[in-house]
A and B are shown apart, each in its own frame.
Chain A
Amino acid sequence: MKRIVYREWRIPPGRYWGILGILAVVIGLGGLSALYLEHQGHWVTGMNNFVVWGVPHVFAVFLIIAASGAVNVASIATVFGKGAYQPLGRLSGLLAVALLIGGLLVLVLDLGRPDRLLVALTHYNLRSIFAWNIYLYTGFIALVIAYLWSMADRMGAPFKKLIGLFAFGWRIALTTATGSIFGFLVARQAFDTAFLAPMFIIMSLAYGLAIFVLVLLFSFHEECRPVGDKLLMRLKRLLGLFVAAMLYFTLVYFLTKAYGAKTHGLVDWVLFDGGRYSALFWIGWVLIGALVPLGIIHHPVLGQDRNWIVAACILVVLGGLATLYVLVIGSQAYPLQMFPGHIILESGFFDGVKSETATYRPTIPEFLLGLGGVAVALIITAVGVRVLQFLPESLADAALPADAVYLPTASDRE
């Protein structure tokens, strides 16, 4: 094993500034959308009194949970002693902070009163899981920055294991809390279950790793730095495991909901009668987000091809957005069960008259705001790897450290 050498991302300036320029344009559009939203009010969005959280929240929640998943790559090395992941730790930490900042920006800019952010930071209701999240998010950023210091600075090395362990615990708490934002909502049939917390954790692992692999392969490919096959196969198989676990959690979630008579209608609706929500569930959540990537990953030929692995990662990300669209928006569109045993014939407000679901037609500014958050995450990452030593010079298999505890794995037999 050789010493790991980290080096700045030295792609040609033209190419680098080109990437930054594109991202800056997307961020600019997102910023303009936020200003437009704030100036006009939320009537310019598809959000209304029934679907109160829309596309911006899909992007925000996706980025936030992906952030906690991205830091897991570092945890695998520090906490679980897998040496091969050790050179990936710095990028993993950077990506986690970047994704979280991107997600939080979207969340904050969608507020009805974003100018009152200071109020949110000075008034706390400790019964609110949302308020807890404010602590958890800021704490996460601070902790991951400390983690990066312990990984990059010789002085920090003795604390690496401890900080790593703490960061791992923190990210579990963070995603538990993010899942609980929905899970604690007793009023809504689709939420109201503690199951959402572990489900969000497993989703975070899949999305975070998929984004990590994409960023890793892109940045290495741009500079012709080597990524060893063995490492890539390990990452790929891990992604497959996370995606399969996600599918399992999806199954159990719907089985739970299908078991209780009071949620029969919900399951019927999401799976079959939900129009675009059903389509997004089957095509987005299940097919694109899980079955196709699993097929690629475990395919004897395609699974060895880097382009196909990249495709699998992209599909997991797209499927993740579809999953959250169904989970966040679909769950609101489905009417509340205010009068069990009754049908509502007329109402002066949306009350699920004749079991109709709420309408939500997202508008362009919502998508631009969400994409702006993605671009913020990417620009932080791009600038980070350019100016600081985040990327290892080589991830060729021979250059990788051995696992701390030798456990024969499937990858070793290849």
Chain B
Amino acid sequence: MKQQHPEETIDQGRRAWFGLAAGVTAAVAAPGVVLHLADAAPAVGTEGVPVTAAARWGLLIDTNKCLEGCRDCVDACARENGLDRQTKPAAQSSAAWADQRAVWLRKAKLADNLTGRVTNLPLMCQHCEHPPCVDVCPTGASFKRADGIVVVDRHVCIGCRYCMMACPYQARSFIHEAVHDQLTGVPRGKGCVESCNLCVSRRDHGLASTACVDACTAAGHGAIVFGDMKDPASPISLALKAMSSRQLREDLALNTGVRYAGL
């Protein structure tokens, strides 16, 4: 546990350098360009070291860049977390199964009631600073890591689903069936609740971003930025500063870790 990683200090240096570079770019370029910096984000975090509150991971979604009909982020999420391996129990109807299968990330298309303006956006766990799911969980299985990621400890989850009652974003899924072919990196099994965890093992292994962000960037949309919201020089912080964004259900004052621009 006490392994020292020599890269750690170097990392910090790189981080600052990139931050400075990003800051200069952001100051010069139009806000819309900022989102393309996502792929330039350096690897942060080190293996084998406890996460700290020095970082708070978050996402910024620019709905103007989110295309109708594109589901690259949804598919990438399913592949990353083994959700594409879910199979409908033979005796279940397709309609009922559609409501019972687990979905961590989904696309929604909305229209403004007055103007009819259409918005497309991905929806997932909003990683609140004050998550209602964590408050209500009787066993403490639902918890927020020091770095702001809301996770379910499946070893302690008893499957009461109270967190699903409490979540304002319908972000959680209950596993209704026995699971047999999980991925090694994403354990999941019958009777527990799960949701987006910001690709938590990527965080711990020091990877740069999440599966959905990679997919969105690879497709050339660049609608999602991932990063450390506590680092003022991180691309996400700069983008958040540069463009106006909103939280979903701001009225609940949950201080979400996922922000939406252009909504």
Judge A-B direct contact (beta carbons within 8 Å).
yes
Q: Which residues of A contact B (CB under 8 A)?
A: 38, 40-43, 46-50, 52-53, 111-114, 116-117, 119-120, 123-125, 127-131, 133-134, 181, 184-188, 332, 336, 338-339, 341-351, 358-359, 361
Q: How far is the CA of A47 from the CA of B95 in the complex (A)?
A: 13
Residue contact A348 to B108, C-beta cutoff 8 Å: yes
Residue contact A43 to B161, C-beta cutoff 8 Å: no
User: Is B252 interfacial (CB 8 A cutoff)?
Assistant: yes
Minimal Cβ-Cβ distance residue in A for B140: A125
Residue contact A41 to B191, C-beta cutoff 8 Å: yes
Counting residue pairs across A and B whose Cβ atoms lie within 8 Å, the total is: 185
Q: How far is the CA of A38 from the CA of B189 in the complex (A)?
A: 13
Closest chain-A Cβ to B161's Cβ sits at a distance in Å of: 4
Q: Is the interface of A mostly helix, strand, loop or mixed?
A: loop
Q: A53-B165, A124-B140, A358-B99 are in contact. Are A338 and B160 (CB under 8 A)?
A: no
Residue contact B107 to A186, C-beta cutoff 8 Å: no
Q: How far is the CA of A186 from the CA of B118 in the complex (A)?
A: 28
User: Is B226 interfacial (CB 8 A cutoff)?
Assistant: no
Identify 16 new A-B residue pairs, CB closer than 8 A, beyond the known A53-B165, A112-B175, A112-B192. Answer: A41-B89, A41-B175, A41-B177, A41-B178, A42-B174, A125-B134, A127-B135, A185-B165, A186-B166, A187-B132, A336-B168, A338-B169, A344-B109, A347-B106, A349-B108, A349-B123
Q: A41-B175, A128-B135 are in contact. Are A339 and B165 (CB under 8 A)?
A: no
In the complex, what residues of A have CB within 8 A of residue B95's CB? 359
Residue contact A344 to B99, C-beta cutoff 8 Å: no
Residue contact A186 to B168, C-beta cutoff 8 Å: yes
Q: How far is the CA of A343 from the CA of B116 in the complex (A)?
A: 9
Of B10-18, B34-42, B151-159, B209-217, the one with at least 4 CB within 8 A of chain A? B151-159
Closest chain-B Cβ to A171's Cβ sits at a distance in Å of: 21
Residue contact B248 to A112, C-beta cutoff 8 Å: no
Residue contact B162 to A130, C-beta cutoff 8 Å: yes
Residue contact A111 to B159, C-beta cutoff 8 Å: yes
In the complex, what residues of A have CB within 8 A of residue B109's CB? 344-347
Partner of A123, one of B118, B156, B248: B156
Q: A111-B160, A111-B191, A341-B112 are in contact. Are A184 and B136 (CB under 8 A)?
A: yes
Residue contact A50 to B99, C-beta cutoff 8 Å: yes
| Chain B, range 189-219, C-beta contacts under 8 Å to A | 190-193
23 contacts between A and B (CB under 8 A): A43-B96, A48-B176, A52-B174, A111-B158, A112-B191, A112-B193, A113-B157, A114-B158, A117-B158, A120-B139, A130-B137, A130-B160, A131-B139, A133-B138, A185-B166, A187-B132, A187-B165, A332-B165, A338-B248, A339-B248, A343-B110, A344-B108, A347-B107
Residue contact A341 to B138, C-beta cutoff 8 Å: no
Q: How far is the CA of A206 from the CA of B74 in the complex (A)?
A: 49
User: Is B46 interfacial (CB 8 A cutoff)?
Assistant: no
Residue contact A113 to B158, C-beta cutoff 8 Å: yes
Closest chain-B Cβ to A217's Cβ sits at a distance in Å of: 37
Q: Which residues of B contact A (CB under 8 A)?
A: 71, 74, 89, 92, 95-97, 99-100, 102-103, 106-114, 118-119, 123, 132, 134-141, 156-162, 164-170, 172-178, 190-193, 248-249, 252
In the complex, what residues of B have CB within 8 A of residue A47's CB? 176
Partner of B190, one of A112, A116, A332: A112
Q: How far is the CA of A348 from the CA of B77 in the complex (A)?
A: 13
Closest chain-B Cβ to A408's Cβ sits at a distance in Å of: 48
Residue contact A113 to B159, C-beta cutoff 8 Å: yes
Minimal Cβ-Cβ distance residue in A for B93: A361
Residue contact A344 to B110, C-beta cutoff 8 Å: yes
Minimal Cβ-Cβ distance residue in B for A39: B178
Closest chain-B Cβ to A269's Cβ sits at a distance in Å of: 17
In the complex, what residues of A have CB within 8 A of residue B107's CB? 346-348
Q: A112-B160, A186-B168, A187-B252 are in contact. Are A128 and B138 (CB under 8 A)?
A: yes
Q: How far is the CA of A60 from the CA of B104 in the complex (A)?
A: 30
Closest chain-B Cβ to A120's Cβ sits at a distance in Å of: 5
Closest chain-B Cβ to A202's Cβ sits at a distance in Å of: 23
Q: How far is the CA of A49 from the CA of B169 in the complex (A)?
A: 12
Q: How far is the CA of A351 from the CA of B109 in the complex (A)?
A: 10
In this complex, which of B89, B165, B176 has the most chain A Cβ atoms within 10 angstroms of its Cβ? B165
Residue contact A345 to B110, C-beta cutoff 8 Å: yes
Minimal Cβ-Cβ distance residue in B for A331: B165
In the complex, what residues of B have CB within 8 A of residue A134's CB? 138
Residue contact B173 to A49, C-beta cutoff 8 Å: yes
Q: How far is the CA of A47 from the CA of B182 in the complex (A)?
A: 23
Minimal Cβ-Cβ distance residue in A for B105: A348
In this complex, which of A46, A348, A361 has the most chain B Cβ atoms within 10 angstroms of its Cβ? A348
Q: How far is the CA of A42 from the CA of B164 in the complex (A)?
A: 15
In the complex, what residues of A have CB within 8 A of residue B108's CB? 344, 346-349, 351
Minimal Cβ-Cβ distance residue in A for B248: A338
Residue contact A351 to B170, C-beta cutoff 8 Å: yes
Residue contact A119 to B158, C-beta cutoff 8 Å: yes
Residue contact A43 to B132, C-beta cutoff 8 Å: no
Closest chain-B Cβ to A366's Cβ sits at a distance in Å of: 13
In the complex, what residues of A have CB within 8 A of residue B176's CB? 41-43, 47-48
In the complex, what residues of B have CB within 8 A of residue A343's CB? 110-111, 113
Partner of A128, one of B123, B136, B175: B136
In this complex, which of A41, A42, A49, A125 has the most chain B Cβ atoms within 10 angstroms of its Cβ? A49
Closest chain-B Cβ to A261's Cβ sits at a distance in Å of: 13
Q: A40-B177, A112-B160 are in contact. Are A49 and B138 (CB under 8 A)?
A: no
Pairs of residues from A and B, 9 with the lowest C-beta to C-beta distance, nearest first: A112-B159, A112-B191, A348-B106, A187-B168, A48-B99, A130-B138, A52-B161, A125-B140, A43-B176
Q: How far is the CA of A342 from the CA of B110 in the complex (A)?
A: 6
Minimal Cβ-Cβ distance residue in B for A50: B99
Residue contact A186 to B132, C-beta cutoff 8 Å: yes
Partner of B111, one of A40, A49, A114, A345: A345
Closest chain-A Cβ to B11's Cβ sits at a distance in Å of: 35
Q: A111-B158, A112-B192, A359-B99 are in contact. Are A124 and B139 (CB under 8 A)?
A: yes
